[in-house]
Amino acid sequence: GAVVSQHPSWVICKSGTSVKIECRSLDFQATTMFWYRQFPKQSLMLMATSNEGSKATYEQGVEKDKFLINHASLTLSTLTVTSAHPEDSSFYICSARDPSGNYNEQFFGPGTRLTVL
């Protein structure tokens, strides 16, 4: 199957700083990527849909000015958590759909664990 990578795999930062997480599709081009957040013992919650060359679409309740998404190329989407606070500590996972493959399957990255002190 297609491979999606994320960087970094974990990050610890101080409250008030910004953190950038990268999501890359390694062997396919992805016009659409998705960003999820998962708190401990909870399921994945979709935060936003990242569209190459256009603005991201955010889910209700997700602050677009706090979670900046940039999908600058067909293989890279970035999520920047601005002015991070301890409540932003979570597991952030991206996924991408391979347009040349099964239309319905999303491939997930390995996730980024963010801890805000």
Partner 1 sequence: GQNIDQPTEMTATEGAIVQINCTYQTSGFNGLFWYQQHAGEAPTFLSYNVLDGLEEKGRFSSFLSRSKGYSYLLLKELQMKDSASYLCAANTGFQKLVFGTGTRLLVSP
If one asks whether residue 111 binds partner 1 (CB under 8 A), the answer comes out as yes
Contact, 67 vs 77, CB < 8 A? Answer: no
If one asks whether residue 102 binds partner 1 (CB under 8 A), the answer comes out as yes
The residue within the footprint of partner 1, chosen from 79, 84, 97, 114 (CB under 8 A), is: 97
Question: Number of C-alpha atoms within 13 angstroms, CB side, residue 39?
Answer: 7
If one asks whether residue 109 binds partner 1 (CB under 8 A), the answer comes out as yes
Residue located via tokens 């606070």? 85
The residue within the footprint of partner 1, chosen from 14, 43, 86, 87 (CB under 8 A), is: 43
The residue within the footprint of partner 1, chosen from 1, 8, 16, 101 (CB under 8 A), is: 1
Closer of 13 and 44 to partner 1 (Cβ):
44
Contact, 92 vs 114, CB < 8 A? Answer: yes
Q: Which residues contact 32 (CB under 8 A, 6 or more apart)?
A: 49, 50, 51, 52, 96, 97
Residue ranges in contact with partner 1 by CB under 8 A: 1, 32, 34, 42-46, 49, 91, 93, 97, 102, 104-111, 113
